[in-house]
Amino acid sequence: MTTALSHYLEVIRDNLRIDLPEESEVISELETHIEDRLQELKEAGISEEEATKTCLGLLGSAKVIARQIYEAHSQGSWQQALLASMPHLLFGILFALNWWHHISWLSVVLILVIGTAIYGWWHGKPTWVFPWLGYSLIPVAVVGLLLPHLPKGWTLLTIPLYFALALWWLFCIVVQTTRRDWLFSSLMLLPMPIIIGWFLTVAPDGRLTETSLQRVYYFAPWIGLSFLILALTIAAFIRLRQRWLRIALLIISGLLTLTMVAYYAGGRLSLSTFVGLILVMWGLFLIPPLLERWLRRGGGRLKRRRSYRPPVQMAN
Amino acid sequence: MYGYQIIKELERRSQGYFKFKEGTLYPALHRLEKAGLILGKWQLLTNGRPRRYYHITAKGRSKLAVERLQWQDFLKAMDLIFQPAGY
């Protein structure tokens, strides 16, 4: 196959953003189509260069084809929508029923979150796994919250180390997720500004004290409500086909939920903190696509496993 | 039938009327497959190349019957509209 046709298929592959087995099947199918067309054109006495040009013209825009195939494959089932929104629902219920302080319930939810995230990660990273993956970062955040409670010298010693390790861990997960699709990184990190917003509402000085736990009791129904909104957002995201609608949904829902947090915080979040959280939210939608571009350009060319071959049987 | 074959068949049966960007056939095939109206299966050809063949499913056949009926009703209605006045 000529360089122009290989490049054409590469553009389609880069813009497909579907599961790896499906991606390989689509590319194999188009490859066979191109070979059939080239063979026919060459048999008609057309030169290879001219045949390639004609073939590309007949196929149409690579980006349009990739977008249409993405839309054919992107819509998840209702089951997948429920599975994807489950971590938000679980945390929503924990807070709505004020069960968040029961260590047993909290442990069950956390074990479920981590177990499901690990299972999904090692089973092809399906779309539903990314919301779970975001919550699996909670133990990392909890360790960070416990650090200020260490003896003074230890706190100063461990905080820089913790931040370096936590950021490195976050970066690794975001890079891996962005290799699948940058939109999933945004989906995964969507609750982050909302959780930070609630945390700063109950613990403005960054330390969890008895008073801040009492505030969690007070704000629990609203915290639960914000998780339930996130759950609905994720369910709608899974059911939508068009990419631009998915992006718009995440942006609008994220900003509205953050505004709701500020509203119910009743003045506990200062304007500058709110603006900072809005910027964090925008960062979630700007950094992943930029990271994807960087990964595609430099040494970080997207290295998705491409050795998959479609399941075939012998023709009769 | 496979994708390339479908394109050639459409072109032949429509006597060259239907000529569209060939790449756009595959999203349509994938949409139909997702809806359970057709089923794609890979087959290895004797020259070692894999090729995806599509077959219509039972659900696809009943959907086709409904769509065909609607199309025939539409054509009938259009014929009646275009008939010269007084007939």
pLDDT surpasses 80 at A69: yes
User: Binning pLDDT at 50, 70 and 90, where does residue B19 land?
Assistant: confident
* Cα A42 from Cα A39, distance rounded (Å): 5
Side chain identity at residue B62, one-letter code: S
User: Binning pLDDT at 50, 70 and 90, where does residue A20 land?
Assistant: confident
* Cα A245 from Cα A247, distance rounded (Å): 5
Q: From the list B22, B46, B49, which residue is nearest A32 (CB)? A: B49
pLDDT surpasses 90 at A144: no
User: Binning pLDDT at 50, 70 and 90, where does residue A90 land?
Assistant: very high
Q: What is the pLDDT of residue A312?
A: 65
A3-11: list long-range contacts, CB under 8 Å, 24+ apart. A4/A52, A4/A53, A4/A56, A5/A34, A5/A38, A5/A52, A5/A55, A5/A56, A8/A56, A8/A59, A8/A62, A9/A34, A9/A62, A11/A62, A11/A63, A11/A66
What is the residue-averaged pLDDT of chain A?
Answer: 87
User: Binning pLDDT at 50, 70 and 90, where does residue A301 land?
Assistant: very low
Q: Which ipTM did the prediction report?
A: 0.86
pLDDT surpasses 90 at A293: no
pLDDT surpasses 90 at B63: yes
In a mutagenesis test of the A interface, which of B51, B53, B55 is the best target, namely the one with the most A β-carbons within 10 Å? Answer: B51
Cβ separation B27–A60 shorter than 8 A: no
Sign of torsion, CA A61 A64 A70 A75? negative
Q: How far is A22 from chain B (nearest CA, A)?
A: 10
The β-bridge partners of B38 are B56
Q: Of the candidates B7, B8, B38, B26, which has an alpha carbon nearest to the alpha carbon of residue A30?
A: B26
**Residue B50 per-residue DSSP state:** E
pLDDT surpasses 50 at A38: yes
pLDDT surpasses 50 at A84: yes
Q: How far is B25 from chain A (nearest CA, A)?
A: 9
Q: What is the pLDDT of residues A192-212, one digit of tens each?
A: 999 999 999 998 887 778 888
pLDDT surpasses 90 at A224: yes
Q: What is the pLDDT of residues A49-63, one digit of tens each?
A: 899 999 999 999 999
Average the pLDDT over each of A36-50, A148-162, A300-314, B17-31 and give the range with the smallest value.
A300-314
Say if A73 is an interface residue toward chain B (CB within 8 Å). yes
User: Binning pLDDT at 50, 70 and 90, where does residue A313 land?
Assistant: low
Name the percent of chain A lying above pLDDT 90.
Answer: 47
Q: What is the pLDDT of residues A230-285, one digit of tens each?
A: 999 999 999 999 999 999 999 999 999 999 999 998 888 888 999 999 999 999 99
pLDDT surpasses 60 at B59: yes
> What's the rounded mean pLDDT across residues A116-127?
87
Residues 49 to 78 of B: which have CB under 8 A from any A CB? Answer: 49-52
Contact list, A312 vs chain B (CB under 8 Å)? 42-44, 50
* Cα A285 from Cα A265, distance rounded (Å): 25
Q: Of the candidates A150, A148, A136, which has an alpha carbon nearest to the alpha carbon of residue A208?
A: A148
Closest-CA residue of B relative to A38 is B4
Contact criterion met (CB below 8 Å) for A212 and A101: no
Q: Of the candidates A181, A179, A187, which has an alpha carbon nearest to the alpha carbon of residue A73?
A: A181
**Residue A265 per-residue DSSP state:** T
Q: What is the pLDDT of residues A103-112, one digit of tens each?
A: 898 889 889 9
- Taking residue A234's Cβ as centre, other Cβ atoms within 10 Å add up to 29
